[in-house]
């Protein structure tokens, strides 16, 4: 029985995805790095390689089924199995009121944030249920927006609420294959996507105010804990957030 652990992180070229990928590589995982841009993925691989970690760079648009199939084909070829999928790839649409959001921007968010996570979950299921030892773990990157919306964020909010449904369905359908699925809901982790929050972000009362951020390391530590459990135990949902961000009582 192999003791080597293999993971896939989507959106691994920057932000939370990069932090999680590096944390996994520093803790004994070989990691497949997926994302739309090759250069940032290679930078993540180089940084992880400094710790002697093995990685596989696979530029992938997770909203395209053919590219996702190719991604999992390369994982099977190079790694032979998959123990952990971190579904992380996601985008924000333009911050506008619901009635002003372009269809193309709505569709792009749905395609990447939701359909991309579904396609990668499908690929993981197909690999995990056939491999020996059978099974694995899937962790979905939800958001505080999976519970409470921000103003002018309908596509992000809707897709993140849908991720919660995907998490529950994955948990249920995965039982017979030894596949566990959980969700981490992250609030205001410092990254490229949240830089603007420190200078000011629109609030539900119409004001614009800065919000506190937390070190993304705390998210990485939380994911490492979720991943460390045996497959007969699961963190179904976890919320990790900057303590004083406007979530409890938001709006």
Q: List active site positions.
A: 156
**Residue carrying the six token digits 């991309």:** 116
Q: Give the CA radius of gyration of the chain.
A: 18
What is the C-alpha to C-alpha distance for residues 7 and 144, in angstroms, rounded to an integer? Answer: 25
What is the C-alpha to C-alpha distance for residues 109 and 104, in angstroms, rounded to an integer? Answer: 9
Q: Exposed, middle or buried by CB within 10 Å (0-12, 13-18, 19+), for 248?
A: exposed
Residues 6+ apart with CB under 8 A from 210: 197, 198, 199, 200, 201
The single-letter DSSP state of residue 243 is T
């Amino acid at each position: 029985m192999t003791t080597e652990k293999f993971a896939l992180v989507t959106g691994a070229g920057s932000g939370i995805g990069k932090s999680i990928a590096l944390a996994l590589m520093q803790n004994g995982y070989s990691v497949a790095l997926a994302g739309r841009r090759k250069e940032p993925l290679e930078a993540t691989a180089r940084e992880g390689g400094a710790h002697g970690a093995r990685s596989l760079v696979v530029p992938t648009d997770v909203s395209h089924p053919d590219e996702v199939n190719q991604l999992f084909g390369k994982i099977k070829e190079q790694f032979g199995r998959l123990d952990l999928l971190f579904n992380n790839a996601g985008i924000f649409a333009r911050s506008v009121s619901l009635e002003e959001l372009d269809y193309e921007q709505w569709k792009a968010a749905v395609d990447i944030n939701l359909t991309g996570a579904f396609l990668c979950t499908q690929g993981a299921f197909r690999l995990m249920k056939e491999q020996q030892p059978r099974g694995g773990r899937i962790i979905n990157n939800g958001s505080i927006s999976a519970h409470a919306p921000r103003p002018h964020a309908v596509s992000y909010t809707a897709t993140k609420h849908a991720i919660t449904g995907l998490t529950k369905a994955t948990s249920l359908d995965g039982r017979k294959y030894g596949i566990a699925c959980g969700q981490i809901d992250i609030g205001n982790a410092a990254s490229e996507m949240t830089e603007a929050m420190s200078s000011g972000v629109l609030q539900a009362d119409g004001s614009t105010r800065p919000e506190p951020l937390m070190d993304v390391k705390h998210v990485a530590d939380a994911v490492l804990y979720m991943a460390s459990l045996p497959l007969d135990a699961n963190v179904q949902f976890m919320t990790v957030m900057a303590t004083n961000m406007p979530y409890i009582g938001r709006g």
